[in-house]
Structure formats: structure tokens, C-alpha cells
């Protein structure tokens, strides 16, 4: 029998995080959307302190070598609630972030402990993943940033763009950036490896911080590497270039873990919009009549129910992809399905919410127009809608990337 009830321990975590989202994040959401490049240090310090004392799963801390149990499922439930509070603040929260996900996916047990243990102590810190380049977006295999061995060091050269939390990870003490680079261009995907560059490393510089449509509380940076030298053992995994592209598989494994998280963030934004519409309907005396034949429903009721169904479908796909990771199962197909569905659903739901409420939805007096702006990124980063649909088609039809591109 399939049970869709939330386990009591995860439900307890969800309630705690929802309280944080409602009382800490919502009150400052508009302020740091307006003040895009200013940092909410009171929020950072509060969340960092919470990460040091709470369940490690909650804020991304803890030992990476701990048993899986329900770590990923708890994570997506947590992310949904934080994004219900504010997606930009959630993304900017000090944590291992995508950089930590990359270390978990591609690093050795020793590297996981070495790089991630720092997030269990000290002051707030961030980690980021740098993969996208000016001439390389969705085609991650086309990376041109190079890593050349020179004695007991690697020397990195190249430019990375759209690095989430790149400014904080590159410049703040004890953070790091995971950089995907090629050690052998002639080897194609097999030559792509991941390298950990600690914050403040000479040769790594942030040259631009983007001005964005949404998630404005988070920073998105361009990072340039010019003869940036790092230790040999900062390469994640094996340095060997083999027929099987292990380094590139590490990058893709990172996305298998991160895409359900992005989907969960999308669902949180969509739920915030849906909750606001419901509250506005209630104030106007408009009731959603469940159980009434579709032909007797108003257009607003049908739209609202479609919005609910879309978000619920996305949530179930997300939970399934995360549960599979907790069970040690390959979730490449399911992660892309969750990401594709949630990215499309949140875009449609927030736009429809603004449409349903008219001037109330369009006004900056309320957060609904902000949620519509925040929503769109979930259909773009961690693989665009089109890329994820392509991955889904390949897995279902059994085609390789060369056969279906």
C-alpha cells in the first residue's frame, strides 16, 4: 500500500522551518529584494547559529559520511518551506550549497570530510559550483576552462558565469568554489574534472555580480581564474583520463542531487502564491467548491484547482526523486522529471495568480509580483526546461546523447 503521509520526524522539521520562514524571512523579503546587493547579516548569523545547533539535515551541515536515512527527503521538504518564506533569502543562506553537493557527488570520503567539516564550526560560510561559461551553457561537455598540472599543483585558467553565491563563496573566509575544468580537451567529456578552490585563493577573482529579475537577495557572480594555483589533492576523485568520463559523470550526479532541491524551491514559491490567492478569495467571500462538477464551477475555481493539482503533482515527483536518492537508487530520470514539472508549474501558477488578482497581484504592495519574478529562474538554472525534457526523452526511449540531441 502506498502511504503519502509525512513521517512524524520530517513533519516536525517542516513545522519548525515554516515558523522560521513566516517570522524571520517574510518580514524582510521585500527589503532585500529592493536592496539587491546588500547582505542581510542578521539573517545570516541567525541561520548559521541555527545550523550549528539543529538537526544537521535542516540547514545542510553535519557529517557527509552519516547514513542516508531520509536526508534528501527531509532536505526538499525544508527547502520548500524556506522558499515559501523567500527564495532569494533561502538561496543566499550560508551553507555548503551546490559546492557541497558537488563534493558529495564527486569527492572521496577524505575530501568530503576535509572540505565539508568546516561548515560545522566558525563564522557563516558559503560554497558554490562554477560550471557555466560565456560560450558554454546547457552543453556542459563544452567546458573550456583548463586545469594544467605543474609539479604538485593544478593551474586553472578560464571564466565562469552565473555562479550562485559565487561572491560569498569566493571572497568570504573558509568557503570554496567547485570549478569544473578540462585536463585534456582532446578527451572530450572524459577530460572534465572538478576542482575545489578555497576562498581568497590568488588568481580567483569575482569580476561581476549580476543584476537580476528575481531571487535578488542572492548573489550571482562571474568568476575569472588567471593562473590560479591549487593543491593536487583539491581535484575531486581521480585525475586519470579514462574512456569512461568519470569527472563528467560527477557533474551530472551533482545535478541528480540538486534538481529535486530546485524543484522543491519552485514548489515553495508556487505554494506561497497559491496561499495568497486563497486568502484573497476568502476575504472577498469567494469559496472554492470542491466536489462540484466541472461544468458548474466558475473559471476562477477551475483555475485555482488546476494550480493546486500542478503543484501537488510536482511535489510528488520531487519527493519520489529524493526518496530514491535516500535508498541509493539512480534517479537521473526522476530528478529531471521533477525539475521540469516544477519549473513549468511554478511559472504558470504564479503568472495565473497575478492574473486572477489583477491590480492586487500586480501591485508592489504585496509579494505576489515578486514571487512571479522569483519563479522563472526555476525553469532555467540546474538545466533548462528544454534540457531536462531532452534527458527525460533519452532515458525513456533508451537513446544516448549522440543519438538524441
CB 287 within 8 A of CB 96: no
pLDDT on residue 257:
85
Cβ burial, residue 288 (10 Å; 0-12/13-18/19+): middle
Give all strands (DSSP E) within 96-191, no chain letters. Answer: 127-130, 146-150, 153-164, 176-182
CB 219 within 8 A of CB 180: no
Residue 66 has pLDDT above 50, yes or no: no
- 109-116 helix and 97-106 helix, angle to the nearest 10 degrees: 160
pLDDT on residue 60:
41
Cell numbers standing for residue 217: 537577495
Reported as a single tens digit per residue, the pLDDT across 357-388 is 999 999 999 999 999 999 999 999 988 999 99
Q: How confident is the model at residue 59 (pLDDT cuts 50, 70, 90)?
A: very low
Residue 285 phi, psi dihedral angles, 5° rounding: 80, 20
Cβ-based neighbours of 140, under 8 Å, separated by 6 or more: 131, 180, 192, 248, 251, 252
Q: Which of 361, 245, 236, 265 is nearest to 17 (CA)?
A: 265
The fraction of the chain above a pLDDT of 70, given in percent, is 93
Query: What span, in angstroms and rounded, lies between the C-alpha atoms of 13 and 36?
Result: 30
pLDDT on residue 136:
84
Reported as a single tens digit per residue, the pLDDT across 288-317 is 999 999 999 999 999 999 999 999 999 999
Residue 64 has pLDDT above 50, yes or no: no
CB 74 within 8 A of CB 17: no
- Cα angle: 90, vertex 39, 17; to 5 degrees: 25
Cβ burial, residue 239 (10 Å; 0-12/13-18/19+): middle
pLDDT on residue 16:
94
Query: What span, in angstroms and rounded, lies between the C-alpha atoms of 29 and 360?
Result: 18
Question: Could you give the residue numbers annotated as active site?
Answer: 382
Residue 57 has pLDDT above 60, yes or no: no
The fraction of the chain above a pLDDT of 90, given in percent, is 76
Reported as a single tens digit per residue, the pLDDT across 94-130 is 999 999 989 988 899 999 999 999 998 899 999 999 9
Mean pLDDT for the stretch of residues 177-204: 93
pLDDT on residue 267:
98
DSSP structure string for 170-239 = HHSTT-EEEEEEES-GGGGGGGEEEEEEETT-TTEEEEEE---SS-TTS-EEEEEEEEEEEEGGGEES--
pLDDT on residue 56:
40
Q: Are strands 235-236 and 192-198 parallel, antiparallel or unpaired?
A: antiparallel
pLDDT on residue 173:
80
Mean pLDDT for the stretch of residues 221-233: 97
Residue 2 has pLDDT above 60, yes or no: no
Q: How confident is the model at residue 54 (pLDDT cuts 50, 70, 90)?
A: low
Mean pLDDT for the stretch of residues 216-239: 95
Cell numbers standing for residue 291: 466536489
Cβ-based neighbours of 277, under 8 Å, separated by 6 or more: 304, 307, 353, 356, 357
- Cα angle: 40, vertex 273, 315; to 5 degrees: 95
Q: How confident is the model at residue 177 (pLDDT cuts 50, 70, 90)?
A: very high
pLDDT on residue 119:
93
What is the CATH number that goes with domain 247-397?
A: 1.20.140.10
Query: Has this prediction a pTM greater than 0.95?
Result: no
pLDDT on residue 249:
63
pLDDT on residue 248:
61
Q: Which of 274, 313, 333, 262 is nearest to 80 (CA)?
A: 262
Between 362 and 139, residue with greater pLDDT: 362
Reported as a single tens digit per residue, the pLDDT across 23-46 is 999 999 999 999 999 999 999 999
Residue 62 has pLDDT above 70, yes or no: no
What is the CATH number that goes with domain 122-244?
A: 2.40.110.10
Contacts by 317-321 with C-beta closer than 8 Å and gap 24+? Answer: 317/263, 317/341, 317/342, 318/76, 318/260, 318/263, 318/264, 318/267, 318/342, 319/73, 319/76, 321/259, 321/260, 321/263
Query: What span, in angstroms and rounded, lies between the C-alpha atoms of 237 and 351?
Result: 43
Residue 355 has pLDDT above 70, yes or no: yes
Reported as a single tens digit per residue, the pLDDT across 325-351 is 999 899 999 999 999 999 999 999 999
Report, at the CATH architecture level, how domain 8-106 is classified. Answer: Orthogonal Bundle (1.10)
Look at the alpha carbons of 95, 98, 101, 103 in this order and tell me if their dihedral is positive or negative.
Answer: negative
**Summary mean pLDDT of the chain:** 90
Residue 251 has pLDDT above 70, yes or no: no
Reported as a single tens digit per residue, the pLDDT across 254-275 is 788 899 999 999 999 999 999 9
Q: Could you state, in order of their start, the residue ranges of all structural domains in the chain?
A: 8-106, 122-244, 247-397
Amino acid at each position: 500500500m502506498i502511504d503519502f503521509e509525512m513521517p512524524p520526524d520530517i513533519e516536525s522539521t517542516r513545522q519548525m522551518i515554516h515558523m522560521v520562514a513566516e517570522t524571520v524571512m517574510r518580514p524582510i523579503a521585500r527589503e532585500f529584494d529592493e536592496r539587491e546587493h546588500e547582505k542581510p547579516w542578521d539573517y545570516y548569523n541567525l541561520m548559521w547559529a541555527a545550523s550549528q545547533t539543529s538537526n544537521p539535515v535542516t540547514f545542510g551541515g553535519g557529517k557527509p559520511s552519516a547514513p542516508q536515512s531520509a536526508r534528501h527527503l527531509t532536505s526538499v521538504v525544508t527547502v520548500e518551506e524556506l522558499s515559501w518564506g523567500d527564495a532569494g533569502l533561502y538561496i543566499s543562506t550560508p551553507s555548503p550549497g551546490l559546492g557541497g553537493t558537488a563534493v558529495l557527488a564527486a569527492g572521496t570520503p577524505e575530501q568530503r570530510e576535509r572540505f565539508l567539516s568546516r561548515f560545522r564550526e566558525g563564522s557563516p560560510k558559503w560554497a558554490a559550483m562554477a560550471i557555466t561559461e560565456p560560450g558554454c551553457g546547457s552543453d556542459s561537455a563544452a567546458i573550456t576552462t583548463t586545469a594544467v598540472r605543474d609539479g604538485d599543483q593544478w593551474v586553472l585558467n578560464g571564466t565562469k558565469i552565473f555562479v550562485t553565491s559565487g561572491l560569498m563563496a569566493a571572497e568570504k573566509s573558509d568557503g570554496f568554489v567547485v570549478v569544473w575544468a578540462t585536463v585534456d580537451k582532446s578527451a572530450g567529456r572524459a577530460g572534465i574534472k572538478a576542482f575545489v578552490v578555497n576562498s581568497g585563493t590568488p588568481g580567483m577573482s569575482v569580476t561581476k555580480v549580476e543584476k537580476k529579475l528575481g531571487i535578488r537577495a542572492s548573489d550571482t557572480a562571474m568568476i575569472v581564474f588567471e593562473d590560479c594555483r591549487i593543491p593536487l589533492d583539491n581535484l575531486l576523485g581521480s585525475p586519470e583520463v579514462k574512456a569512461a568520463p568519470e569527472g563528467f559523470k560527477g557533474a551530472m550526479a551533482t545535478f541528480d542531487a540538486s534538481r529535486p532541491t530546485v524543484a522543491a524551491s519552485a514548489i515553495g514559491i508556487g505554494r506561497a502564491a497559491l496561499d495568497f490567492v486563497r486568502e484573497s478569495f476568502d476575504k472577498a467571500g469567494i469559496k472554492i467548491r470542491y466536489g462540484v462538477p466541472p461544468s458548474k464551477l466558475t473559471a476562477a475555481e477551475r483555475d485555482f484547482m488546476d494550480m493546486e493539482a500542478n503543484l501537488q503533482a510536482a511535489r510528488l515527483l520531487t519527493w519520489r526523486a529524493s526518496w530514491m536518492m535516500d535508498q541509493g537508487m539512480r534517479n537521473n530520470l526522476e530528478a529531471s522529471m521533477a525539475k521540469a514539472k516544477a519549473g513549468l508549474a511554478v511559472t504558470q501558477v504564479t503568472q495565473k495568480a497575478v492574473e486572477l488578482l489583477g491590480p492586487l497581484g500586480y501591485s508592489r504592495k504585496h509579494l505576489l509580483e515578486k514571487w512571479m519574478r522569483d519563479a522563472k529562474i526555476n525553469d532555467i538554472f540546474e538545466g533548462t526546461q528544454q534540457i531536462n525534457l531532452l534527458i527525460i526523452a533519452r532515458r525513456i526511449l533508451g537513446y544516448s546523447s549522440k543519438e538524441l540531441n
